[in-house]
Amino acid sequence: MPQPVAPIMETRRLTQKVAGPEGELVILHEIDLAVAPGEALAIVGPSGAGKSTLLGLLAGLDTPSEGEIHLLGERLDRLDEDGRARVRAGQVGFVFQSFQLIDGLTALENVLLPLELAGVTAAAARAASLLEQVGLTPRARHYPRQLSGGEQQRVALARAFAGEPRVLFADEPTGNLDSVTGQRVIELLFALRERHGSTLVLVTHDAQLAARCDRRVRIAAGQLSEELAR
């Protein structure tokens, strides 16, 4: 029987409410979720169900109305904004649907950014190697607007793994890409995750993509339900 492992992230009775035009709206209701180190978790559900809200809370980008969030051994709901940023710095990577590269920085500099922000020295070689891993060495000096959507997302992947993150959050990473390009990006994402051993939390509509994860949870009407592996 395997040893029980402490989860790398966990929520307890996590609730998120927002003020709406017709009074308070409960987006997430008392959600308990635990993710083991190295696990790949897919969060699925219809549009507007609260998938991205949950992702934002897990990553400490937002604060919950009620409940606890633990990430990398820290109680996020008790930290202030800078405290949560400190937890993320160098340990958490992101991949977004809209790539979110900084226009004024080259591909290489975008990859370098999280390393620099975390105060990592001698980071340039590592950033270059990451770009090589996503096959974009020739595009290192290009600016985002000079790259195609697929290339931009590959730069974003290189950036996400630059800091050897223990946790990677991905929000609809293929949402803005055609299926062929999306497929290539997914292959790359899982290959990199394999190599770096990062825990992955992935929000997606894409059933195929979700199927590649170790575990899937579905959000509907603010509630979380576990999907069984097919």
Question: Contact positions toward other proteins, by CB under 8 A?
Answer: 52, 55-56, 59-62, 81-82, 85-92, 94, 96, 98, 100, 102-105, 109, 113-114, 116-123, 126, 164, 171
Would you say 65 or 183 has its CB closer to other proteins? 65
CA distance 91 to 167: 7
Would you say 36 or 79 has its CB closer to other proteins? 79
Residue 113 Cβ vs other proteins, minimum distance, rounded to whole Å: 6
Residue 228 Cβ vs other proteins, minimum distance, rounded to whole Å: 28
Q: The tokens 């050897």 sit on which residue?
A: 164
Q: Is 74 exposed, middle or buried (0-12, 13-18, 19+ CB in 10 A)?
A: middle
CA distance 156 to 94: 8
Residue 28 vs residues 56, 65, 110: alpha-carbon distances, Å? 12, 10, 33
Residue 4 Cβ vs other proteins, minimum distance, rounded to whole Å: 30
Would you say 115 or 209 has its CB closer to other proteins? 115
Would you say 4 or 119 has its CB closer to other proteins? 119
CA distance 16 to 95: 23
Residue 61 Cβ vs other proteins, minimum distance, rounded to whole Å: 4
Take residue 91 and report the two structure tokens written for it. Answer: 């340990």
Q: The tokens 């969030």 sit on which residue?
A: 69
Residue 85 Cβ vs other proteins, minimum distance, rounded to whole Å: 5
Sign of the dihedral through C-alpha 2, 4, 6, 8: positive
Take residue 220 and report the two structure tokens written for it. Answer: 């509907």
Would you say 181 or 183 has its CB closer to other proteins? 181
